[in-house]
C-alpha cells in the first residue's frame, strides 16, 4: 500500500515540476489559457470583402465552431503597413497544442472561404497556411476582470532591429511595478506579438480595459515613477510608423 502511494506522489510531483527555461515555455507547460494573434495581408482590391468576411466570424454559429477548437473571445483589426492593408485576428486559446492554434482557426468553414481574399506572410506560405501565428513575446495578467464589458484595444509600432535583443529581454523580465501600474489602470490580458515584414520588425499589443471613469480620471494625473522609468528604458527601442506622432498607433477594430 505504501509503495502505491509513493508511486502516486512521485507521479504528481513529476507533473508539477515540468518546466522550461523561459517564461514563455513555462506558460505553455502550465496548462493555463493562452493568447494568440494571427496575421495576413488583404489581396489588392479585396480589403472590403475581407473585412466583411472577418465580421461574420463573430456570429453565434461560427463562435460555436471556434469553441470546439478551443478558440474564444475573438476580435479582428486592420492597419495599413508598408502600403498594404494587414489584418490581425486575436483570440484566447485553450487547445492542447499552442502552435496548433492557427490550424484550429483555419479549419473552421468560414475561415476557409476567406483564403482567396488574403495574401499570406512568407512564413505562413511555408506551412501552406493563409494566416501566420505571431510570436507572443510578452504577457501581463494585470487587473482581474469584472462583470463589465471590457474595451478591447489594439495598437502597433515597430522595433529598431539593432535593439531587438534588448527589447525582447526586458519584456521577458517586466518590472513588478509595471505590472502593478497596469492592474491599477484596469488593464487585463495585455499581450505583445512580433513579426518581421521584410527588414522591419512590427509589434502589436492587445489589451482589455476594465477601467471605470473614476479610474481613468485618476490615472491621467497619477505619477508613477516606476512606469515612467520603464517607458524611458523601452521607448528608445521603438521606431514609430511613418508619420506617426506617438510611438504606438491604434489599429482599426474590424470585429469584436
User: Which secondary structure element, helix H or strand E, spans residue 63, and what is its range?
Assistant: helix 60-68
pLDDT tens sequence across 100-155 = 999 999 999 999 999 999 999 999 999 999 999 999 999 999 999 998 999 999 99
Examine residue 27 and state whether it is found in any structural domain, yes or no. Answer: no
Examine residue 9 and state whether it is found in any structural domain, yes or no. Answer: no
CB atoms within 10 A of CB 180: 14
Examine residue 216 and state whether it is found in any structural domain, yes or no. Answer: yes
Q: Which CATH number covers residue 97?
A: 3.30.70
Q: pLDDT band for position 11 (50/70/90)?
A: very low
CA-based nearest residue to 62, from 105, 115, 116, 33: 105
Domain that residue 205 falls in: 34-255
Mean pLDDT of the chain: 91
Examine residue 15 and state whether it is found in any structural domain, yes or no. Answer: no
Examine residue 28 and state whether it is found in any structural domain, yes or no. Answer: no
User: 182 vs 26, 34, 89, CA distance in Å?
Assistant: 22, 19, 23
**Beta strands, E only, 59-134:** 71-81, 84-93, 118-119, 132-133
Are the beta carbons of 201 and 164 closer than 8 angstroms? Answer: yes
pLDDT tens sequence across 203-219 = 999 999 998 888 888 88
Examine residue 243 and state whether it is found in any structural domain, yes or no. Answer: yes
Examine residue 25 and state whether it is found in any structural domain, yes or no. Answer: no
Res. 12: pLDDT tops 80: no
User: Which residues does residue 10 pair with via DSSP β-bridges, in sequence order?
Assistant: none
Q: How many domains does the chain have?
A: 1
Residues 6+ apart with CB under 8 A from 224: 177, 181
Are the beta carbons of 195 and 215 closer than 8 angstroms? Answer: no
Mean per-residue pLDDT, 38-54:
98
Res. 185: pLDDT tops 70: yes
Examine residue 121 and state whether it is found in any structural domain, yes or no. Answer: yes
Amino acid at each position: 500500500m505504501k509503495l502505491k502511494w509513493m508511486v502516486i506522489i512521485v507521479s504528481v510531483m513529476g507533473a508539477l515540476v515540468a518546466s522550461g527555461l523561459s517564461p514563455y515555455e513555462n506558460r505553455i507547460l502550465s496548462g493555463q489559457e493562452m493568447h494568440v494573434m494571427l496575421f495576413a495581408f488583404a489581396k489588392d482590391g479585396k480589403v472590403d470583402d475581407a473585412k466583411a468576411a472577418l465580421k461574420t466570424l463573430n456570429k453565434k454559429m461560427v463562435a460555436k465552431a471556434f469553441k470546439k477548437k478551443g478558440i474564444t473571445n475573438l476580435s479582428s483589426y486592420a492597419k495599413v503597413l508598408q502600403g498594404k492593408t494587414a489584418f490581425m485576428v486575436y483570440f484566447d486559446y485553450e487547445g492542447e497544442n499552442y502552435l496548433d492554434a492557427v490550424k484550429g482557426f483555419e479549419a473552421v468553414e468560414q475561415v476557409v472561404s476567406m483564403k482567396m481574399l488574403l495574401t499570406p506572410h512568407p512564413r505562413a506560405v511555408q506551412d501552406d497556411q493563409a494566416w501566420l501565428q505571431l510570436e507572443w513575446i510578452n504577457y501581463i495578467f494585470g487587473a482581474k476582470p469584472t462583470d463589465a464589458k471590457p474595451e478591447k484595444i489594439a495598437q502597433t509600432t515597430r522595433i529598431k532591429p539593432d535593439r531587438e535583443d534588448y527589447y525582447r529581454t526586458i519584456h521577458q523580465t517586466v518590472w513588478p511595478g509595471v505590472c502593478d501600474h497596469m492592474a491599477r489602470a484596469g488593464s487585463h490580458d495585455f499581450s505583445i506579438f512580433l513579426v518581421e515584414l521584410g527588414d522591419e520588425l512590427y509589434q502589436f499589443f492587445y489589451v482589455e480595459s476594465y477601467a471605470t471613469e473614476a479610474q481613468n480620471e485618476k490615472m491621467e494625473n497619477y505619477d508613477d515613477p516606476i512606469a515612467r522609468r520603464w517607458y524611458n528604458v523601452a521607448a528608445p527601442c521603438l521606431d514609430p510608423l511613418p508619420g506617426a506622432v506617438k510611438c504606438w498607433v491604434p489599429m482599426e477594430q474590424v470585429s469584436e
